Amino acid sequence: MNIATKLIHGGANIDPQTGALGVPIYQISTYRQTSVDHFGKYDYARGDNPTREALEETIATLEGGTRCLAFSSGMAAISTTLMIFSPGDHLVVCDDVYGGAYRVLSTIFTRMGISSTFVDATDLTAIESAIGPETKGIYLETPSNPLLKITDLRGAVDIARRHGIITLVDNTFMTPYLQRPLELGCDIVLHSGTKFINGHSDVICGFAVVKDTELGKRIRYIQNAFGTGLGPQDSFLTLRGVKTLKVRMDQSQLNSMKIAAWLRSHGRVTAVHYPGLAEHPGYAIHAGQADGPGAVFSFELDSFETTKRLLEGSHLAVFAVSLGGVESILSYPARMSHASVPAEERLRKGITDTLVRLSVGLEDPDDLIADLEQAMGRTA
């Protein structure tokens, strides 16, 4: 089955009890048992819920994994998964990792004896040089946020395998429609399902997907122990949202290409960071490991005044955190996702005060262009 078909027919989409074209919301916490010796498949909903399971089966199928676990947020998926590591273990992490992942790694996991080295993961030799005897995993995000930097996933997997360690990839920006890291040899795929997978800016959820069944059992054990699983109502909404993933991504990506090309020749825009543009330094690597550039990019403006005018004056693209919704979202990394990074460190990473990120939604691209144009103010 191709992915368009999998999205509609790939999971548990028909309720076996009634034939309903969808798995109902099992809004229930516990299940009756009939035998003292053998409990049924379901006993308590922290562990198992049929609506969550239907969603997990769908996402596992899409990513080409044997098992998916659905969590109450992307951060719940990431932190629960990182608990497979033990005190003394070390990770090599891309230096522009999602802010929330940076926070748990650099404050909470360090306290528990799990350390990380942050490297420029566009450079495979930088990844390899950071690996030491205690290193157990490489944690990546490609394209990265907010500069859309590209890591060669096959190259990273080669390094990991040579050192006998695992590769984890946050695949939120791409979704399984555009990039499937497990097929490239990665071990764990993580997601904020809050973004494109659900796609409607109305659920917070996350996923961990694996190919190896033992690894799946270990993560599932911690998910149940911690109680970080996704609730039934949110599972249902995400199952509904993901059905249109292909058509949403296709259209948002087309819109992105048009808007990025327009911005590139705009007098007030000094750079556009988008792996869909041939001049992007990671263009060829990205094209070799993903089926499209996605619908998020960032760009630099000529001054702080223009930046402020754009963020405060755009009517269609909403000024907000988050991405991946049907509505376009403009965000300001310096004061949103990367506000907690010290200014000097932020600038060193290229996250300037004139950098804006755009997640492109399903509006008419010409309307979006006209709106951005009026907000930035015309060039002389």
Footprint of ligand PLP on this chain (CB under 6 A)? Answer: 73-75, 98, 100, 141, 145, 170, 172, 192, 194-195, 204, 206
CB of 265 to ligand PLP, least distance (A): 29
Our CB check for ligand PLP shows the closer of 194 and 251 to be 194
Active site residue 364: no
CB of 100 to ligand PLP, least distance (A): 5
- Annotated active-site residue in 52, 96, 98, 234: 98
CB of 201 to ligand PLP, least distance (A): 12
CB contact set of 280 (below 8 Å; sequence gap of 6+) = 148, 150, 273, 274, 286
Q: Which amino acid is at 163?
A: H
Q: Please state the φ and ψ torsions of residue 347, each to the nearest 5 degrees.
A: -65, -35
Give the residue from 148, 135, 209 showing the smallest Cα distance to 176.
209
Active site residue 26: no
CB of 94 to ligand PLP, least distance (A): 11
- Annotated active-site residue in 52, 149, 180, 195: 195
Q: Which amino acid is at 82?
A: L
Our CB check for ligand PLP shows the closer of 51 and 172 to be 172
Pairing of strands 90-94, 135-141: parallel
Our CB check for ligand PLP shows the closer of 204 and 295 to be 204
Give the residue from 320, 323, 324, 312 showing the smallest Cα distance to 377.
312
- Annotated active-site residue in 89, 96, 152, 170: 170
Indicate the helix (H) or strand (E) that contains 188.
Answer: strand 188-192
How far lies 245's CA from each of 5, 156, 275, in Å? Answer: 11, 28, 20
Active site residue 136: no
Coil, helix or strand at residue 19: coil
Q: Which residue has the closest beta carbon to ligand PLP? A: 74
Q: Which residues are catalytic?
A: 46, 98, 170, 195
